[in-house]
Amino acid sequence: MKVGVVGVGHGKFGRRSDATVQELAFEAFRAAMEDVKNLERKDIDSVIIGSSPEYHKQRSLPGVITEYIGMNDKPTWLTEAACASSSAALRSGYMAVKSGLHDVVLVLGVQKMTELNTAEIQSLMGRVGDVQWESIYGTTFPGYYALYANKHMDTYGTTGEQLARVAVKSHHYGAQNPYALFQKEITLERAMKSPMVADPLRVFDCCANADGAVALIITNDKLAKKYHDTPVWIDGLGSASAPISVLRRPDMTSIPSAVAAGKEAYKMAKVKPKDIQVADVHDCFTIAEILAYEDLGFAKKGQGGKFIDDKECYIGGKTPVNVDGGLKSKGHPVGATGASQTTEIVKQLRGDCGKRQVKGAEIGLTHNVGGIGQYCFVHVYKR
């Protein structure tokens, strides 16, 4: 039995001081319901929420959201894996459908980050590492990835300019994405002159905190065509965990869970890295995207910088990556990012991306990392 995505609904990402977390969820839910046909609420068997609860004043989100979108009394629960929460939720949904327990599952990634101020967010996000032995030294999330960046630069000669080029690409495509937070192109000069956040990562190397929600409706191959003409199949799933702490990451130039998750997904979908025609990877920082090129096998180890220099990750290159603007342009509502990546790949495989369409794309991939790689979920999609 195959499991496919038949409905996607993407809300507007940004500083959403105009809405509560359940109102944001409803936007995405409404959009997904408009995307499908012949589906009524009662046909949905469960609601799985992907979110990182620490950022909200509202406790226990699944109950609140499921009630607000009118899905009582269907079962609901939270799947949490930091920044990979909604990909984890998608994996949970896949398992529910594949097992035959549920026929149609609604996966909702939702997050409000901006209820907290910047220093508070830095503190909370930084505490995804080892709180006992690292947070006492004022570690931050950009700080952790900066440790990776410096090591990658020292080992492979990657430059700050190459990092900035990733940001330029993100903004180039984000400018064409109506759901993105930042819809303006930037120059290389501007990126390289932006203030330092955690050396060598500058403001333009870092994704922005944002609020937002994305909904996905998945079902089995018996029902899929009833709800959408072009279901997109989740053909390969890979997931792995890694030590939470940099104190236990011998190789500081690679995210081990991404390598493992990628391998598993490729194997299950019976494809190789070069077969991926469009990918959406976890670019919480520009260095994370460069690491992803290497970890997923799009570029050889150490050649991630060259991959962006040669524009292989642009449309027209070997493997277009993040042509929806990535986390960098869209913003990063932690719980919703995974579902946003899935939405982009689904639309690409449907042929619905207009100016940003990768022509003839039939095999796509999403790569969603939680924290500094303690969680990673890779999905391979086929049309």
Partner 1 sequence: MPFKYFGKINYTPYTKVSKFADELQKGKLVGSKCKNCGEKNFPPRADCLKCLSGDFEFIKAKSTGTLVTFTVIHSAPTGFEDMTPYTLGLVDLDGGGRLLSWFENTKDKDIKIGMKVKVVPKIFEEIEEIKLYYALEKK
- Which range in 61-69, 141-149, 166-174, 328-336 contacts partner 1 by CB under 8 A? 141-149
Whether the ω angle into residue 18 lies within 30 degrees of 0, i.e. cis, is no
Does 99 engage in binding with partner 1 (CB under 8 A)? no
> What angle do helix axes 286-295 and 160-174 make, rounded to 10 degrees?
100
Distance in Å, CB of 4 to partner 1, minimum: 40
Shortest Cβ distance from residue 121 to partner 1 (Å)?
A: 9
Does residue 287 bind partner 1 (CB under 8 A)? no
CB of 129 to partner 1, least distance (A): 8
Q: Is there binding between residue 54 and partner 1 (CB under 8 A)?
A: no
Q: Which stretch binds partner 1 (CB under 8 A): 104-112, 163-171, 244-252, 292-300?
A: 244-252
**β-strand 3-10 against 232-241: which pairing, if any?**
antiparallel
Q: How far is the CB of 199 from partner 1 (least distance, A)?
A: 4
Which span sits near partner 1 by CB under 8 A: 54-62, 142-150, 166-174, 317-325? 142-150
Q: Could you identify the residue written with the tokens 């209820």?
A: 115
* Span 201-220, contacts to partner 1 by CB under 8 A: 201
Q: Does 38 bind partner 1 (CB under 8 A)?
A: no
Q: Which residue has the tokens 């969680």?
A: 375
Q: Which of 320, 331, 311, 375 is nearest to 353 (CA)?
A: 320
Give, as one character, the DSSP assignment of residue 14: B
In the region spanning residues 152 to 181, those forming contacts with partner 1, defined by CB under 8 A, are 154
Name which of 94 and 145 has its Cβ closer to partner 1.
Answer: 145
- Contact status: 138 vs partner 1 (CB under 8 A): yes
What H or E segment, with its residue span, contains residue 258?
Answer: helix 256-269
1 makes contact with partner 1 (CB under 8 A): no
Phi, psi of 290 (to 5 degrees): -60, -40
Whether residue 323 contacts residue 315, with contact meaning beta carbons closer than 8 Å, is answered with: yes
When asked if residue 194 is in the footprint of partner 1 (CB under 8 A), the reply is no
- What residues from 246 to 275 belong to the interface with partner 1 (CB under 8 A)? 246-248, 252
User: Which residue lies nearer to partner 1 by CB, 287 or 292?
Assistant: 287
**Binder among 28, 146, 166, 168 for partner 1 (CB under 8 A):** 146
**Binding-site member from 18, 34, 54, 120 for partner 1 (CB under 8 A):** 120
Question: CA separation (Å) from 19 to 14, 63, 100, 112, 320?
Answer: 11, 18, 36, 9, 34
**Strand partners for 79:** 50
Residue from the set 20, 150, 159, 183 that interacts with partner 1 by CB under 8 A: 150
Residue 44 touches partner 1, criterion: CB under 8 A: no
Neighbours of 212 (CB within 10 A): 32
User: Residues 257, 376: contact at Cβ < 8 Å?
Assistant: yes
User: Catalytic positions, please?
Assistant: 83, 332
9 bridge partner residues: 215
Q: Segment near partner 1 (CB under 8 A), from 122-130, 220-228, 234-242, 333-341?
A: 122-130
Q: How far apart are CA 375 and CA 383, in angstroms?
A: 27
Please identify, using beta-carbon distances, which residue of 150 and 230 lies nearer to partner 1.
150
Structure token digits, residue 74: 């269907």
Q: Establish if 197 lies at the interface with partner 1 (CB under 8 A).
A: yes
Q: Per rule CB under 8 A, is residue 193 in the interface with partner 1?
A: no
Helical axes 286-295 vs 141-156, angle rounded to 10°: 60
Structural contact between residues 28 and 365, judged by C-beta atoms closer than 8 angstroms: no
Q: What is the largest CA-CA distance in the chain?
A: 56
**Closest approach of Cβ 341 to partner 1, in Å?**
26
Cα dihedral across residues 25, 120, 240, 365: positive or negative:
positive
Window of 65-73, 119-127, 214-222, 370-378 that interacts with partner 1 by CB under 8 A: 119-127
In sequence order, the β-bridge partners of residue 375 are 241, 370
Among 19, 23, 43, 147, binds partner 1 (CB under 8 A): 147
Q: Residues interacting with partner 1, by CB under 8 A?
A: 118-120, 122-123, 126-127, 131-140, 142-143, 146-151, 154, 195-201, 246-248, 252
